Structure 1
Amino acid sequence: MFKKISIIVGLFWTIFQANAQLVGTSDGLTDTPSTDSIKLPDNRLIHAMALEIFWKKLILLQKNNTGKLNIVHVGDSHIQADLMTAVIRKNCQNRFGNAGRGFVFPHQLAKTNGAWDVRFSSNATWECHKNIAQPNGSAVGLSGIALQTKAQNAYIELTVKDPENFFNTIKVISPNNNHDFDLALNKQKTAIETKLPKKISHKVKKGEALSTIAESYHCSMAEIKALNRLKSNNIQAGKTLKIPTTETTSKISYTTSYIPEKSYNSNQYFYYKSENLLSKIAIVAQNDNPEKILSGLVLENNNPGILYHNIGVNGAKYADYNKYPLFFNQLKALNPDLIIVSLGTNESFDRMSSESYMQQVFRFINNIKLWYPDTAILLTTPPPSLLYRKLPNTYIADYTEKLITFAAENRYAIWDAYTQLRGMQGVSINARKGWMAPDRVHYTKLGYEIQGKMLFEALLQSFEDYQNNPNKKK
Structure 2
Amino acid sequence: MLNKLFCFVLVGLVHLGVFAQTDSLYVEVDTTEVVIAVNEITNKKVLHPIFEKIKKIQADKSGKINIVHIGDSHIQADFFSGYFRQNLQQQFGDGGRGFVFPYSLAKTNGPGDIRFSSNEAWESQRNIYADNGNPVGLSGIALWTKNKGFAVEMNVKTKESGFSKLKIFTPNNQKMFDVALASKIIKLESDIPKKFVHKIRSGESLSVIADKYNVSIKSIKSANGLKNNKIRAGKTLKIPSDQMEKRVVERSEFIPLETMREEGFHSFASDSLIHKIYLIPAIEQTDFALNGMVLENNNAGIIYHTIGVNGAKCSDYNKFPLFFEQLKTLTPDLVIISLGTNESFDKLVTADYFLQLSVMMETIVNQNPSVAFLITTPPPSQFKRKFPNTFVADYTKEILTQAELKNYAVWDLFSNFGGLFGIHQNAKEGLIGGDKVHYTKVGYEKQGQLLTEAFLEALQNYNTETGK
| TM-score where L is the length of structure 2 | 0.83
Asked if the contact 1:227–1:244 (Cα under 8 Å) also holds between the matched residues in 2, the reply is no
Find the counterpart in structure 2 of residue 85 from structure 1: 81
1:306 aligned onto 2:295: no
1:410 aligned onto 2:402: no
Task: Name the CA shift for 1:286/1:432 in 2 (closer, same or farther; >3 Å).
Answer: same
For the residue of structure 2 that corresponds to 1:330, the secondary structure is: helix
1:388 aligned onto 2:380: no
1:456 aligned onto 2:452: yes
Matches within 5 A, 1:170-249: 170-194=166-190, 196=192, 226-227=218-219
1:379 aligned onto 2:371: no
Q: 1:324, CA displacement in angstroms?
A: 0.4
Q: Deviations over 1:6-35 (max 9, x none)?
A: xxxxxxxxxxxx99xxxxxxx953434xx3
CA distance in 2: counterparts of 1:454 and 1:242, whole angstroms: 74
Larger radius of gyration: 1
1:364 aligned onto 2:360: yes
1:62 aligned onto 2:54: no
Task: Name the CA shift for 1:388/1:227 in 2 (closer, same or farther; >3 Å).
Answer: same
Q: Deviations over 1:184-229 (max 9, x none)?
A: 11213334354646889xxxxxxxxxxxxxxxxxxxxxx9675356
1:29 aligned onto 2:21: no
Q: 1:287, CA displacement in angstroms?
A: 4.9
Deviates most, 77-86 or 418-427 = 418-427
CA distance in 1: counterparts of 2:277 and 2:399, whole angstroms: 42
Q: 1:408, CA displacement in angstroms?
A: 2.3
CA distance in 2: counterparts of 1:249 and 1:297, whole angstroms: 47
Find the counterpart in structure 1 of residue 421 from structure 2: 425
Q: 2:349 aligns with which of 353, 375, 391?
A: 353
Q: 1:291, CA displacement in angstroms?
A: 1.9
Deviates most, 307-316 or 405-414 = 405-414
Which residue identity lines up with residue 40 of structure 1 in the other structure?
Answer: A
CA distance in 2: counterparts of 1:389 and 1:374, whole angstroms: 42
Which residue identity lines up with residue 317 of structure 2 in the other structure?
Answer: Y
Q: 1:154 aligns with which of 139, 147, 150?
A: 150
Asked if the contact 1:384–1:423 (Cα under 8 Å) also holds between the matched residues in 2, the reply is yes
1:112 aligned onto 2:104: no
Find the counterpart in structure 2 of residue 264 from structure 1: 260
Task: Name the CA shift for 1:229/1:431 in 2 (closer, same or farther; >3 Å).
Answer: closer
1:40 aligned onto 2:37: yes
Which residue identity lines up with residue 55 of structure 2 in the other structure?
Answer: I
For the residue of structure 2 that corresponds to 1:461, the secondary structure is: helix
CA distance in 2: counterparts of 1:58 and 1:271, whole angstroms: 26
CA distance in 2: counterparts of 1:228 and 1:118, whole angstroms: 54
Task: Name the CA shift for 1:275/1:241 in 2 (closer, same or farther; >3 Å).
Answer: closer
Asked if the contact 2:388–2:421 (Cα under 8 Å) also holds between the matched residues in 1, the reply is no
CA distance in 2: counterparts of 1:72 and 1:241, whole angstroms: 63
Asked if the contact 2:195–2:238 (Cα under 8 Å) also holds between the matched residues in 1, the reply is no
For the residue of structure 2 that corresponds to 1:143, the secondary structure is: coil
Q: 1:314, CA displacement in angstroms?
A: 0.4
Find the counterpart in structure 2 of residue 235 from structure 1: none
Q: 1:268, CA displacement in angstroms?
A: 1.2
Find the counterpart in structure 2 of residue 212 from structure 1: none
Asked if the contact 1:263–1:270 (Cα under 8 Å) also holds between the matched residues in 2, the reply is yes
Which residue identity lines up with residue 435 of structure 1 in the other structure?
Answer: L
Matches within 5 A, 1:3-14: none
CA distance in 1: counterparts of 2:240 and 2:346, whole angstroms: 76
CA distance in 2: counterparts of 1:256 and 1:162, whole angstroms: 26
Find the counterpart in structure 2 of residue 291 from structure 1: 287
Q: Deviations over 1:30-79 (max 9, x none)?
A: 434xx35x4422x2211111122222212211211101111000000000
Q: 1:393, CA displacement in angstroms?
A: 0.7
Matches within 5 A, 1:117-156: 117-156=113-152
Asked if the contact 2:190–2:247 (Cα under 8 Å) also holds between the matched residues in 1, the reply is yes
Which residue identity lines up with residue 31 of structure 2 in the other structure?
Answer: D
For the residue of structure 2 that corresponds to 1:73, the secondary structure is: strand
Which residue identity lines up with residue 79 of structure 1 in the other structure?
Answer: I
Q: 1:134, CA displacement in angstroms?
A: 1.2
CA distance in 1: counterparts of 2:461 and 2:240, whole angstroms: 93
Which residue identity lines up with residue 182 of structure 1 in the other structure?
Answer: D
CA distance in 1: counterparts of 2:239 and 2:387, whole angstroms: 81
Which residue identity lines up with residue 227 of structure 1 in the other structure?
Answer: S
Task: Name the CA shift for 1:315/1:229 in 2 (closer, same or farther; >3 Å).
Answer: closer
Aligned length: 418
For the residue of structure 1 that corresponds to 2:315, the secondary structure is: helix
Gaps of 5+ in 2: 1-14, 17-26, 197-214, 223-227, 229-236
For the residue of structure 1 that corresponds to 2:379, the secondary structure is: coil
For the residue of structure 1 that corresponds to 2:152, the secondary structure is: strand
Task: Name the CA shift for 1:224/1:321 in 2 (closer, same or farther; >3 Å).
Answer: same
Q: Deviations over 1:65-106 (max 9, x none)?
A: 101111000000000000001110111011000112111111
CA distance in 2: counterparts of 1:125 and 1:253, whole angstroms: 23
Asked if the contact 1:29–1:428 (Cα under 8 Å) also holds between the matched residues in 2, the reply is no
CA distance in 2: counterparts of 1:45 and 1:425, whole angstroms: 22
CA distance in 2: counterparts of 1:458 and 1:432, whole angstroms: 24
For the residue of structure 1 that corresponds to 2:255, the secondary structure is: strand
CA distance in 1: counterparts of 2:238 and 2:297, whole angstroms: 68
Task: Name the CA shift for 1:148/1:229 in 2 (closer, same or farther; >3 Å).
Answer: closer
Q: Deviations over 1:99-148 (max 9, x none)?
A: 12111111111111110111111100011011011111101000000111
Task: Name the CA shift for 1:198/1:116 in 2 (closer, same or farther; >3 Å).
Answer: closer
CA distance in 2: counterparts of 1:395 and 1:199, whole angstroms: 72
Q: Deviations over 1:382-435 (max 9, x none)?
A: 111111111111100111111112212222111111112121121111111111
CA distance in 2: counterparts of 1:436 and 1:149, whole angstroms: 37
CA distance in 1: counterparts of 2:315 and 2:463, whole angstroms: 36
For the residue of structure 2 that corresponds to 1:139, the secondary structure is: coil
Find the counterpart in structure 1 of residue 233 from structure 2: none
Which residue identity lines up with residue 56 of structure 2 in the other structure?
Answer: L
